[in-house]
Structure 1
Amino acid sequence: MSDITAPETARSSIADEAAREFLGRYRGGTRTLYTADLRIFFEWCETQGVDPLAIRRTHLERFRTYLEDDRGNGPRSVRRRLQTLRTFYRLAVADERIHRDPTVMLRLPKHEPFSADIAWLDRFQVGALLRTAAAESPAHHALVALMCMLGLRVTEACNVRIEDFAEDQLGYRVLSVVGKGGKSALMPVPVPLLRILEQARGDRLDGPLVLRRDGRQQDRNGAYAWVKILCRKAALPENIHPHSLRHSAVTAVIDSGADLREAQEFARHADPGMTVHYFRRGGNLDRHAAHVAARVFASAA
């Protein structure tokens, strides 16, 4: 397998081929994560002297212990790596490479993230961040605004090009975005955001929108550094990172009255459960559904 370089002793070439076909279904960051997960697992199989396609559930239970004890992975990381293997083996069964899925009845670690575990910003904190970014440069302002106002992922924001903007038949300014898995979406560009992006564009007619000081396109690592510096200048929490702004955007959308389906469309999530995970209300009891239930039944009593 081209992406996994563990030595071939116990595993078969069929396992390598199965891994290549599995990874070929994904792109970008997802493929990078899955490649790392399979590499770790294949290397562990080598140490155990077992072919990955001859694995049994008991082997996977031992692999889970290896991840927890030897590699020191937390519940969230262990669960994600095992979920990668679950998807890999389901495809292997579908492709008739194996006859039985060894991940059936495999126990996954429980991971229930609390709101306090996920960094995000409220509307006033986002406002402070936007003001700080505007004072830094038009490029800083545009990057932060794309993530806050459109909920773009950091890589999506960095990859925005001037040519990606257009005008639809009704006169709306729209932005074509290519997201995870190569999925494209057309998003409206509200006037406040458009003004910010026009400043970042300047007189240019094409090319990347968000440029570094050396004139090159900003990348993921540089965006993380920018957000860290801006948060420090704005006296915001130190644990804020670009993806925190996506959580903040989804929360703002729902808090402003959008229902879950609208928020899901905004975030471009395939699963509404992921949108719920992104919603960080922070214990706002004023909008708790208990008020609705009490009002409905009290009026009928």
Structure 2
Amino acid sequence: MRRLLPPSGIAPRQTDRSLATATPVDFTEAWLRNRRLSEHTRAAYRRDVAAWLVWCSDAEVGPLQASFLDVNGYARQLEATIDPRSGRLLTPATVARKLSALSSWYAFLVRLRAVPANPVTDADRPRISRDHSSTVGLTPEQVDALFAAARADRRPSAARNLAALAILADLGLRVGELVSLDVADLGHERGHRSIRFVGKGGRARRRALAPDTAAAVDTYLAARACLAGVPVERLDGPLLVTATGARLDRHAVFRLVRRLADEAGLPAADRLSPHSLRHAFATTARAEGVPLEDVQDAMGHADPRTTRRYDRDRHNLDRDPTYRIAAARAARAGSG
């Protein structure tokens, strides 16, 4: 396809004629170039828009002439689609995310005056409860069982797998953030072992590595350096690699989590995902008394309500504030 757009996207003074000759794929690439996104999010958005364009082609709908009725038809098809990873229907949250990406794409086209209005705005989107998540969670004991299975593993990739599990469980990273890590992202800051990464929305972030997590990463890198016949300091490129040296992908991490869960004898092992460990991170952190705002910052959430969805133990009556209020009152009475 002939490139019709400059590398930086569609220029503000681009003529109506050149806009008219731009294809939906051109618009997609210009939209992505003009967003601060991680590579993982960029790839997901590209897939979401590409799927919509395929639907439009099959339905003989021009994507630049689509109405909210067309988006509704697409949404209903998504809701009836089987997720190949889980073997179940796509969750409402997944459908909503795909439509959100589509809405952002159309909002970009509206600003360019390539379309008169955003057809997703008035579409019937799934209602997502901020108080519930469909991701299968894990208790702290189940996370411990995953670690035990990883440590008992004798495969050549065992050290790498333990490092991946430790980062997921102890930092609560998204799987896309995990597989995007490079060796150069590891560092030392003010007495802490640290790791830098690009979070959701393209924001540069940093987190501390707990001693056990740092030890797992160091053990893996030492073994990898030994195999390559170079000092650890000479390693570069992706942090987590396959046997051929390629970057580990998110699908391999999904398979890893489910294999370890199966070996650990966990229930619903075939439904677990790396995101289950992210949920467990939030729940355990809150159960251990970590303030909500600190968990929110660690997980990279803009809205604390999003963080609360991950905290599956928030309705535990042991945490009801009434106990602390009553205890404080009793303490004041006793000191009076």
Structures share fold, TM-score greater than 0.5 = yes
Call closer, same or farther: CA 1:49–1:259 in 2, change over 3 Å. Answer: same
Structure 2 counterpart of 1:31, from 42, 48, 55: 42
Unpaired runs of 5+ residues, structure 2, are 3-19, 83-88, 223-230
Call closer, same or farther: CA 1:221–1:48 in 2, change over 3 Å. Answer: closer
8 Å contact kept, 2:132–2:309: no
Structure 2 letter corresponding to 1:204: V
1:244-275 CA distances to partner (integer Å, 9 max, x unpaired)?
11111121112221222211111122333322
Q: Kindly report which structure 2 residues correspond to 1:150-169, keeping only aligned pairs within 5 A, or say none.
A: 150-168=171-189
1:82-125 CA distances to partner (integer Å, 9 max, x unpaired)?
22222222222222223333333322122438758321222222
Instruction: Give the structure-2-normalised TM-score.
Output: 0.72
Q: Distance in 1 between matches of 2:91 and 2:140?
A: 32
Corresponding residue for 1:79?
96
Structure 2 letter corresponding to 1:194: A
Corresponding residue for 1:22?
31
Query: Does residue 1:120 correspond to 2:137, yes or no?
Result: yes
Call closer, same or farther: CA 1:227–1:96 in 2, change over 3 Å. Answer: same
SS of 2:125 mapped into structure 1: coil
Corresponding residue for 1:204?
232
Q: Distance in 2 between matches of 1:42 and 1:134?
A: 45
Structure 1 counterpart of 2:272, from 224, 240, 250: 240
Structure 1 letter corresponding to 2:43: T
Call closer, same or farther: CA 1:181–1:281 in 2, change over 3 Å. Answer: same
Instruction: Give the structure-1-normalised TM-score.
Output: 0.80
Q: Distance in 2 between matches of 1:123 and 1:54?
A: 51
Corresponding residue for 1:141?
162
1:195-228 CA distances to partner (integer Å, 9 max, x unpaired)?
2222222262223444555665533222222222
Corresponding residue for 2:261?
231
1:14: how far off?
Answer: 3.9
Corresponding residue for 1:185?
205
Q: Distance in 2 between matches of 1:69 and 1:157?
A: 30
1:291: how far off?
Answer: 4.4
Call closer, same or farther: CA 1:52–1:166 in 2, change over 3 Å. Answer: same
Higher mean alpha-carbon deviation, 43-52 vs 265-274, is at: 43-52
Corresponding residue for 1:105?
122
Call closer, same or farther: CA 1:171–1:66 in 2, change over 3 Å. Answer: closer
RMSD: 3.3
Corresponding residue for 1:90?
107
Call closer, same or farther: CA 1:102–1:295 in 2, change over 3 Å. Answer: farther
Call closer, same or farther: CA 1:59–1:267 in 2, change over 3 Å. Answer: same
Q: Distance in 2 between matches of 1:43 and 1:140?
A: 37
SS of 1:235 mapped into structure 2: coil
Unpaired runs of 5+ residues, structure 1, are 3-11
Call closer, same or farther: CA 1:177–1:44 in 2, change over 3 Å. Answer: closer
Corresponding residue for 1:62?
73
SS of 1:199 mapped into structure 2: helix
Aligned residues: 290
Give the % identical residues.
27
SS of 1:166 mapped into structure 2: strand
Corresponding residue for 2:317?
285
Query: Does residue 1:171 correspond to 2:191, yes or no?
Result: yes
1:18-70 CA distances to partner (integer Å, 9 max, x unpaired)?
33322333453323332233223223333444432222333333333444468
8 Å contact kept, 2:68–2:120: yes
Query: Does residue 1:251 correspond to 2:283, yes or no?
Result: yes
Call closer, same or farther: CA 1:298–1:89 in 2, change over 3 Å. Answer: farther
Call closer, same or farther: CA 1:29–1:166 in 2, change over 3 Å. Answer: closer
Q: Kindly report which structure 2 residues correspond to 1:37-48, keeping only aligned pairs within 5 A, or say none.
A: 37-48=48-59
SS of 2:173 mapped into structure 1: coil
1:159: how far off?
Answer: 4.1
Query: Does residue 1:272 correspond to 2:304, yes or no?
Result: yes
